Amino acid sequence: MRFIAALAVLSLITGVANAADRRVEIVNTTGRTMTHFYASRVGADSWEEDILGEETVGNGESFRVNLNDGTGACRFDFRAVFQGGAALVKRSVDVCSISRFTYNR
């Protein structure tokens, strides 16, 4: 009986994680223009495609991204590239528990 109860609780927890909102507002307060943004699940072998495409994000601007890739993953690595080529990487961001991520100076 305890085993069945434990399975029910585990299913509930897994369902909550899978239903988590993975939309995140990315804010740029670096003083530089962001030219590229990548987000890949932790453990991925390479960066996914550039989410910004032809767009840029100026200082003080933001954009929203939906990181629901269908796997139920909550942890993603972020990589922002700025005018001039400098890049900032943040590892293991829990997109299920935040709604905003800010790149600072």
**What's the CATH number where 56 sits?**
2.60.40.2890
Residues 6 or more apart in contact with residue 2 via CB below 8 angstroms: none
Residue 6, in any domain of the structure: no
Q: What pLDDT digit, counting tens, does each position of 25-59 carry?
A: 999 999 999 999 999 999 999 999 999 999 999 99
pLDDT tops 70 at residue 19: no
Sequence length of the chain is 105
Residue 4, in any domain of the structure: no
Task: Give the predicted TM-score (pTM) of the model.
Answer: 0.80
Q: How far is CA 101 from CA 2, 34, 98, in A?
A: 40, 14, 7
Domain count, the chain: 1
Q: How far is CA 46 from CA 15, 39, 43, 64, 87, in A?
A: 28, 10, 9, 22, 15
Owning domain of residue 34: 21-104
pLDDT tops 90 at residue 8: no
